[in-house]
Amino acid sequence: MEFIQHDWNWAWATLAAVSGTLLLVTSLRGGGRGVSPAQATQLINREDAVVVDVRESGEYAAGHIPDARHIPLGDLAKRAGELEKFKDKPVILNCQSGARSASACSVLSKAGFSRVHNLEGGIAAWEQAGMPIRRKRK
């Protein structure tokens, strides 16, 4: 307790508690198994994984993983039927940073998808790893 009472230490203790809680909630919600860009590429090449981009239209148009299907997170529950034929295949969900796609993993897991994966770090990590990006032409 002496540590928490000193100056700004209470702020650090609060930050640690909030961070731990968020990690616990994400893992309990079934955020899907995280995969790196390299692991995602292996799933795509070896197991014909399906990539679903859950960002908004403008974000998707600005740059997305080649052949990624676009279903914004807000529409995913009602459009999950479009992915029905992929229920037993690996499905990789991505967003900008990995947060929205963690929620998307939960939505698809609840809908009976058995192999959902969250792209760790999202499209930002994909680009940083030097992976290809496709941009919509106007």
Distances in whole angstroms, Cα of residue 19 to Cα of each of 24, 48, 61: 9, 35, 32
Catalytic residue among 95, 119, 123, 125: 95
The amino acid at residue 31 is G
Compute CA 102 distance to the chain's CA centroid, rounded to the nearest angstrom.
Answer: 4
Find, among 66, 113, 105, the residue nearest to 86 by Cα: 113
Structure tokens at 82: 């479009």
For the question of residue 95 being annotated catalytic, the response is yes
CB 26 within 8 A of CB 102: yes
Residues noted as catalytic? 95
